[in-house]
Amino acid sequence: MRPRSRFALVAAAALLVSGAFGVAGQSGELPVVVPSLPPRDGSIRNPITFDQLHNFTGPSADGQCLHLDLGGAAFQGAVYAGPYPFCEGASDYDHAAFLLSGTLTNGATDVPAAAFLQDAYNANAWPQGTGSEPPTMTVAYRIDLRSVSGDTVTSYGLYDSLVSFRQEGPSVAKNLTLVEGPYLALVTSDDPPSAAIAWTTDLPATGEVRLRGPLQEDSGESARAREGVCDRLFSQEAPSQWHEIRITGLKPGRTYTYRVSSVAQDGQSAHSSEYAFRAAPARGKGKVRFLFTSDGREGVGGGGQTSMGTNLDVSGRIAREAMRQGADLAVVPGDLVNGYTSSIPDYRLQHGGWKGAWSGFWRTRPVYTSPGNHEALLNVFDDGSAYGLEMDKWPYASESAEAIFQQEFCNPANGPAPSDPRRPPYLETVYSFTYGPILFIALNNNYWWTSDADIPTLGGSPEGYIMEDQLAWAEGAIERGDRSPDVRFIVVFFHEPAFPVGPFSEKGLWWNGDNTVKAYALVGGQVVPQGQGVIDVRNRLWTAFARSRKVAAVLVGHQHAYSRVLIDKHTPVGIPSADDLNGDGKLERYSPNPDFTYPVYQITAGNGGAPPYVYPNRGTPWTAQVISPETGYCIFETDGNSLGFTAYSLNGQILDQVKDLMAVKKK
């Protein structure tokens, strides 16, 4: 949730709609009215793009560094650099250690490279390396970026990235670089023999994954030490910057290693380290631990709290906790970044920062994401208000928040198709997968957003709302999980709470009990309502959860605290047909819902980096059992028979614990 001063409703009244379909040739294909207002920028976080952050123009004058030019004379700052990954092969978690510092002056700096071949700094035994393969020599660099204009100094926080280099005679030269990833993805018990490896190169290049294994796990052998294991190559020959290669033939639950390589058209090549990972367990089987966190967007406090749109400090620490706690996977439902931007390059750079914070974990364990309200990517119009009139960016197929989120992540692609093909895709923002005995269902209740007050006039879907097509898909997914003998537990995750606890409780699937809130679409020249009111939608969704004996927990974020609330058929939740006493669509009282057959926990972990809420339990008919504003995360664990969890603060304190989430269903 970003703090917003709600701008006045005059925005809608002031709109001039040009004909029934707005701007000719554009909105005729859109399910929204295009306002006849001048476009303006949204909240663009970053003053530089990915391309500027990687604009290496050649060696430095002395040939020992790589010259980086951000392209703006006003940019000043500090620069830090170190060999990456630090102590390759000895550390099981890829990370940087910054060993040298310098300055960014008038937008330019020299990033040290040859210095890391000197004994004191050479953590990876370059140039020969520590493994059996020649290493790619890569430097992690960090810019603490400021701009200076007259007496005004603006601090933009930390920018982290990577650059590879090679030796050319007495000088160094920039090399093809794996700038993001590799990330392990699509490890699911729906298809244990398969997984995907994804990475990004700074230049178009081919891609190849070398897979080795399975290893004998109890012999203590490493991939490098053992000979004779299966060794397979999976290739992508068409050059591109984005690489996503499916690997197959894995045996459930067994350990493999992989290493990726790319070759650019001019022959430059780059390789990753070698990483060990475990194939997904067979469906219905296995012990599983997973980490749940949300709202890793920027905090307050400077330094790593503000890094490209994400809270690098907190997300980085939670990712390390996920590794040390032995999590097999992580689920993160939204507000990864500040967002609300009108710039696609800015949106991508922000998500690149978040992925970088998780990269040490993500090399070897999958991370599943869904969008929050901050994952907004917008067309913004100047209506005189502070934020402007904001609408999900079109064309939807290529530029919407949903489309770019799908490109930035590698989530399962088995969600619903929109019932109206003019709307944005649900692909990879709404999906399900199994991991061992758990069925995970990811929903997106920040879909196709328009500034909320303008939705009845222009079309769009309010914060927190779930449209009929996604709702029906979710009901079907729960039913299928309920019938499947391999599914022991169902865990649902989405961003905005069904039952908010605390400030900003006006949104989510609650809207302070206002059942008039719903989506609208432009149909046949008229903007018309779509589907049921938000309270009826919430009640249908929760009824689907509560009728199943298998739904262990509903995991949400948005509110920047930890909380646990148990919803059962005695909880005052509100039923529009019974509680709208004066017929205005808003609830005057809050009846319990007899259709909520089994109790279900809603667990909020929006305490993952965004500024904490310290006054969370007020203003709603239901009351949380436990609340804490401490920054932290949750670890869930099943041995196949029961599923429980512990909520930790980042200081190691246990904030809450439920050893058996299913016990409440037996009472």
Which parts of this chain interact with Fe ion (CB under 5 A)?
Answer: 1, 335, 372-373, 558
Give the residue from 331, 281, 377, 249 showing the smallest Cα distance to 495: 331
Q: How far is the CB of 334 from Fe ion (least distance, A)?
A: 6
CB 608 within 8 A of CB 321: no
* Rounded-to-integer distance, Cα 160 and Cα 77, Å: 13
Q: How far is the CB of 546 from Fe ion (least distance, A)?
A: 24
239, amino acid identity: P
Residue 424's CB is within 10 A of a number of other CB atoms, namely: 26
Pairing mode, strands 551-556 and 489-493: parallel
Give the residue with the Cβ less far from Fe ion, 373 or 593. 373
Give the residue with the Cβ less far from Fe ion, 415 or 464. 464
Q: How far is the CB of 492 from Fe ion (least distance, A)?
A: 17
Give the residue with the Cβ less far from Fe ion, 1 or 553. 1
* Rounded-to-integer distance, Cα 275 and Cα 384, Å: 52
Give the residue with the Cβ less far from Fe ion, 372 or 425. 372
Give the residue with the Cβ less far from Fe ion, 85 or 372. 372
Residue 454: CB partners within 8 Å, gap ≥ 6? 11, 12, 15, 389, 460
Q: How far is the CB of 558 from Fe ion (least distance, A)?
A: 4
Q: Please give the C-alpha separations between residue 312 and each of 206, 302, 308, 355, 610, in angstroms, as whole numbers.
A: 30, 11, 9, 10, 11
Q: How far is the CB of 542 from Fe ion (least distance, A)?
A: 20
Give the residue with the Cβ less far from Fe ion, 2 or 246. 2
- Tokens representing 388 are 């402007």
SS3 of 522-582: EECCEEEEECCCHHHHHHHHHHHHHHCCCEEEEEECCCCCEEEEEECCCCECCCHHHHCCC
Q: Give residue number: closest CB to Fe ion.
A: 558
* Rounded-to-integer distance, Cα 505 and Cα 394, Å: 29
Give the residue with the Cβ less far from Fe ion, 495 or 518. 495
Q: How far is the CB of 373 from Fe ion (least distance, A)?
A: 4
Pairing mode, strands 75-84 and 100-104: antiparallel
The sign one gets for the Cα dihedral 145, 149, 153, 155 is: negative
Q: How far is the CB of 495 from Fe ion (least distance, A)?
A: 6
Give the residue with the Cβ less far from Fe ion, 213 or 609. 609
Q: How far is the CB of 290 from Fe ion (least distance, A)?
A: 21
Distance of CA 208 to the CA centre of its chain: 25
Give the residue with the Cβ less far from Fe ion, 141 or 613. 613
Q: Please give the C-alpha separations between residue 402 and each of 351, 446, 519, in angstroms, as whole numbers.
A: 13, 9, 17
Q: How far is the CB of 2 from Fe ion (least distance, A)?
A: 8
Give the residue with the Cβ less far from Fe ion, 328 or 335. 335
* Rounded-to-integer distance, Cα 333 and Cα 341, Å: 19
Give the residue with the Cβ less far from Fe ion, 278 or 558. 558
Q: How far is the CB of 153 from Fe ion (least distance, A)?
A: 30
Helix, strand, or coil here: 5? coil
**Type and span of the H or E element at 344:** helix 344-362
CB 418 within 8 A of CB 426: yes
Q: How far is the CB of 338 from Fe ion (least distance, A)?
A: 11
